């Protein structure tokens, strides 16, 4: 689903400007929260599923797999494929 800031504000019954103001007061932003949610969901899906990274990227709202991998690497410090049980992250 496409969770824009306008949709979130509407679901919360507040204006976009009020939502932005409240997020700023908490030293965060809508973009940051969206990224955190996407990355948490992506890491869960990658570990639990045996599907392709492409599928996980789309499930987390990314239309570009290379961009998803780039964002994932920037956020976690490693690529999504390293999260899999056969990846280096799980090897001792």
40/2: higher pLDDT: 40
Region 40-52: mean pLDDT is: 83
3-state secondary structure 57-80: HHHCCCCCHHHHHHHHHHHHCCCH
8 Å CB contact between 89 and 80:
no
The pTM for the full model equals: 0.79
The full set of domains in the chain, from first to last, is 5-90 (1.10.10.60)
Asked if the model's pLDDT at residue 70 lies above 60, the reply is yes
pLDDT digits (tens, 9 = 90+) for 8-20: 999 999 999 999 9
CA angle (72 as vertex; 68, 82 as ends), nearest 5: 110
Asked if the model's pLDDT at residue 90 lies above 90, the reply is no
């Amino acid at each position: 689903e496409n969770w824009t800031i306008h949709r979130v504000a509407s679901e919360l019954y507040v204006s976009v400007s009020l939502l932005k103001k409240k997020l700023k007061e908490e030293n965060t932003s809508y973009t940051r929260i969206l990224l955190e949610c996407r990355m948490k969901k992506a890491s869960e899906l990658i570990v639990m599923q045996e599907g392709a990274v492409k599928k996980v990227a789309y499930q987390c709202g990314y239309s570009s797999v290379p961009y998803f991998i780039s964002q994932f690497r920037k956020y976690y410090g490693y690529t999504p494929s390293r999260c899999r049980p056969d990846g280096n992250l799980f090897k001792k």
